[in-house]
Structure 1
Amino acid sequence: MQHLKKLIHLINQKGKKNIVLFEQLTIKPGKEQSLFQGVVNATFHNDHTASKYLYKSLPEDTRYVILKSRLEAKLLNYLLFLDLTESNQKQDDSAKRRCELLVHQAKLLSRQREYQMSEKILRKAIRMAKEYEYTALQIEAQELLLHIYFTEEALTSYQTLKVQYSQQRQILAAERDAFLLYQQAQLELLQDKTTEDTLEYIYSITQQLQQRWQQFQSFTLFDLYYRLHVRQLELEESYPQLLVLTAMAEEFVKELKVNDKRFNYLHNYRLRLYASLRAGELEAGLRLAEQGIPLFDPSSEDWLGFTESYFLLSLHSKHYQQASALLKQVEHSPIFTKAPVVSKEKWYLYKAFLHLMSVEQADGLPFDYETLRQKLPQSRKDKQGLNIALLLIEFCYLLLTHQKNALTKKAETYKKYLERHFTTPNLLRERIFFLLMLYVIRHNFRIEPIEQKSAKLFNQLKQSLLPRGAHVSRIEIVPYPQLWEKIKEILRQKE
């Protein structure tokens, strides 16, 4: 029943209105149509209710099994008529679907020996596949066309196309080998290891992919090489080099070394902002973000990701007015209401940290930590992710509101959290910061002994590296050294 429900949902969502699934001539609908309508109207929740209504029997009844099989076959055939093009679909995805449809149409015509029409469609498919560098589709269309030339004994056309076909087969073989290398590298990374051996292995695969791209100049080869190279530089914490690579990729597109119809320019732009943030190139990143505003549609997910990097760049560089303006844009954006829960929770935390760092640029309302906690049910489960930021903002809130007793009671909680969850090297900065928080409590919130005792630990924090390959959720919403300075400022004001 689940398969039927999914197929019917897809057909109702994507089906064209001028094509009917069932004949409308009969007064009484047949059992296939009754089963279809029962699923659509949610009359049939499962096989038991459907078989009982249609045959007064159990789902194992042969009549019901055959009926369901016939309806499923009809639905699968109907998939050929669906309009799968979406308004937010990337240009190259839409082109690929059109190209696949052309090849399918040519196959049907060729089977009916309509070679002239089939040849015309295949030539169009080959031009499109070549324009977008769909190697496999180009080969499939060429094979059909070679068959037509062979059947019609068109020797000259056959020999000319055969040369092009042989060249494309070499490229496809290289792409398939490269894809296996890429998959193997990704599987290695799924082990969540960042040992020197792993880094060397990923580097060697990246080099092999680069060599294949340079040899065959295929977009697919470039894409595989580029994606793995980006991941390699993240793992190596080589964010300045990542900035160079992302800028170089855009130059390759301008120089037509990389297919501009397939290259995801918006994703690359977001990657450049991310690299700017991680490399500490804050002012350059802000200038880049300012230039990128016209490129992103405010109703798209790309815009939300772009604005997130822009906001973090503003917050890290202490441009709180800019950060506040971006936050308000997000809160009033329709795309934010459709965002996943975790994405919304991140933005709630961003607002809390902005409020902490600059009350002047907040919305004028007092910071309500309890409301924030209620908005973050998922984040509290992520002990090494956003929950860390939630604990940090809790500490600062209690400090701001002068709740020393509450903080003293939480000292043991922070200590246990530190011991249980900050045991790996990539959480060293979090471990240091929680130790600094404990220093505040143990020295009774007095700034002078805290500064003296924490100096060495604070220097360790400033010199420690950010975790390898961390995702956005692990980016410090406010850099820990900057946050520590804010905590000391609060302590001075409270004395």
Structure 2
Amino acid sequence: MNDLRELVKIVTTRGQKNFPLLELKTKNPNKEVDLFHLIRTGQCESDHQAAALMYKTLPNDPRIKMLKSRLRKKLLNHLFFLDFTDQSLKISHRYEQKSLALLFQARTLMNEGESTISASLLRTALALAEEAEFTQIIIDCYQLLLENYSLSSSSTNFYKTKSTLAKYRALAALEQEAADLYYTSRLELNKSVVAKNKYLEKLKNVVQKLEALWTKTNSANIFDFYYKLSISLHELTGNFDEILKTTANIEKLLQKGKINKKRFDERYNKFINVYAYLRVKEYEKGLVAAASYVQVFNRSTNNWFAFMENYFLLAMHAGKYDQAAKLYGEVMRNTSYKKISRTAQERWSLYGTYLYFVNPSDEFIKQSNYRKLMGSVPEHSKDKQGFNVAILILQFMYFVRSQDTDALNYRIDSLKKYADRHLKHQLSKRNLLFFKLLVLLVKENLDYDQAKKKGEPLLHRLKNTPVPGDAYAEIEIMPYEHLWTLILKMLKDQ
């Protein structure tokens, strides 16, 4: 009871007069709770709306400013009581948050002169932090324990802790070196394609340095930096075979306990593994892997939708259009679809429309509306980078099917303008070659025999042109070779 009596005393002395949290379940809500519910339900999205709904006034009214301030403070207080048991979260987040909470509580108790309870909390926090290898939290715990032991004159514990703390400080210095390398690289990789190109040689050296630091320390923090940048390097250089080797090696290291499972996000390893299968054109293996991995992703998260994109594209590239239709339908029926970004929804709209061209089955039409899909396809622009070419090709195929030659002639001009502006880079060869095939179609007045005959040399060059690295490639929702076969079939049927 001694510890409880001490805690009651501290809470009684330091407790706030006003309740510092929102009382969301109260039968008599106040203005703060009212504003909270208005924001949560989407009824209040601007300062003007907030002022009008709460006080029938304008945003410069002192009352609405004070109300927003009180709500903000209470919402920040709620951050101390968030639920991190959700299985969709990284397991490391649970360890980190629990350790930080215990550390905060211990520091507060020490400030109140309570050393016994604080030492117990610090040892619990330390055990969690060490298990998940959060070096900085470990250092903070040992530093507070050092302070605690000095005040309680515990010499043995003091000097033992001091020695251990020195080792972790040395490790932290190496981890900081790794962090500086990692975040500098991430900054450079977020720049333009030209800037990324210039940084590639430096990136290779950074990855080598991180690998050496990881080998030296066996640190989970440094491994995370090394792993992510090595994947980025292979992506940017189009070396997807190496990604497959890396992900397979990671699985082995995890099984052997060489990588801390409390820190490593195994889901990303599975995600990038499936993506790599897509890029190396091992579609069957990729589909098998995707089918076995999909259950580890929570269906309500962005990660699930991102994973399903690769799964869907694998089916499309493998020519398994019935399977692709089922995957597309599964995505459309997911109640969380409306929560993903506008850009992601536009990509799925494109996927669905491409799927219609190759698989206009009754089952698929029940799942979606073709005209609605065509109507939702966005025009190409700077904010659609990554699938501008896919949009242009889709529109072109639509007018080929309807034999609208006027629209096709207009589209040819669009293709030429886009190619002149955006496809001059050496790694845009596949796009250029396919555009030339489309131009050829119009020149030959959609004549099947002539298009097939005169397109053979371009098709041969296309087949021998590899897909570029991810930093430069626009999306091929279907391989261009398959699209050309589909277009020729449309002409022949007509």
TM-score by length of 1: 0.83
Q: Would you say the 8 A contact 2:220–2:260 is kept in 1?
A: yes
Please report how far the alpha carbon of residue 318 of structure 1 lies from its aligned counterpart in structure 2 after TM superposition.
0.8
**1:387 equivalent in alignment to 2:388:** yes
Change (3 A) 1:300 1:369: closer
TM-superposed CA distance for 1:138, in Å, is 0.5
In the alignment, is residue 149 of structure 1 matched against residue 155 of structure 2?
no
* Aligned residue type for 1:225: Y
1:210: which partner in 2?
A: 211
8 Å contact from structure 2 (residues 142, 165) kept in 1: yes
Q: Secondary structure at the match of 2:364?
A: coil
2:480 is aligned to 480
Query: RMSD value over aligned CA atoms?
Result: 3.6
Partner of 1:8: none
Instruction: Map 1:289-328 to 2 at 5 A.
Output: 289-328=290-329
1:21 corresponds in structure 2 to: 20
In structure 2, relative to structure 1, the CA distance for the partners of 1:23 and 1:97 (3 Å cut) is closer
C-alpha distance 73-327 of structure 1, shift in aligned 2 (>3 A): closer
Q: Verify: 1:246 aligned to 2:230, yes or no.
A: no
Q: 1:59 to 1:35 in 2, by over 3 A?
A: farther
- Greater shift, 314-323 or 339-348, is seen at 339-348
Within a 5 Å distance, the mapping from 1:77-96 to structure 2 comes to 78=77, 81-83=80-82, 85=84, 87=86, 88-96=88-96
- 1:48 and 1:59 in contact (8 A); partners too: no
2:92 and 2:262 in contact (8 A); partners too: yes
* TM score, norm. by length of structure 2: 0.83
**1:423 counterpart letter in structure 2:** K
Distance in 1 separating the partners of 2:129 and 2:367: 58
Distance 1:176 1:337 in 2: 40
C-alpha deviation, 1:84, in angstroms: 5.6
Equivalences, count: 464
**Which ranges in structure 2 are unaligned for 5 or more consecutive residues?**
1-17, 24-28, 39-43
Q: Contact 2:92–2:263 at 8 Å: present in 1 too?
A: yes
Single out whichever of 242-251 and 129-138 deviates more from structure 2.
242-251
Structure 1: gaps of 5 or more residues:
1-18, 25-32
Deviation readout 1:18-63 (Å, 9 max, x if unpaired): x823999xxxxxxxx998579658899479979xx8xx999699x9
Residues 1:367 and 1:408: Cα distance change in structure 2 (over 3 Å)? farther
Whether the 8 Å CA contact 2:220–2:263 is kept in 1: the answer is yes
Q: Is the 8 A contact 1:396 1:487 kept in 2?
A: yes
Say if 2:47 and 2:59, in contact at 8 Å, map to a contact too: no
**Paired letter, 2:296:** L
Aligned equivalents of 1:158, 1:377: Cα separation in 2:
66
The worse-fitting range, judged by mean Cα deviation, of 342-351 and 238-247 is 342-351
Q: Residue type matched to 1:119 in 2?
A: A
Q: 1:177 to 1:281 in 2, by over 3 A?
A: same
Bigger drift between 411-420 and 326-335 goes to 411-420
Mapped pair 1:352 → 2:353: yes
Post-superposition Cα deviations, 1:265-316, rounded to whole Å, max 9, x if no partner, equal 1121111000110111111111111222332333333322222211111110
Contact conserved, 2:32 with 2:67, CA < 8 A, in 1? no
* d(CA) in 2 for partners of 1:330, 1:73: 36
Distance 2:49 2:191 in 1: 41
| 1:105–1:379 Cα change, 3 Å | farther
Q: Tell me: CA distance 1:378–1:401, structure 2 relative to 1, closer, same or farther (3 Å).
A: closer
| Structure 1 residue aligned with 2:238 | 237
Q: 1:211–1:487: structure 2 CA closer, same or farther, 3 Å change rule? A: same
Alpha-carbon contact 2:35-2:50 (below 8 Å) kept: no
Q: In 2, are the aligned partners of 1:345 and 1:379 still within 8 Å (CA)?
A: no
Change (3 A) 1:479 1:250: same
Q: In structure 2, do the counterparts of structure 1 residues 361 and 323 end up closer, same or farther at CA, with 3 Å as the change threshold?
A: farther
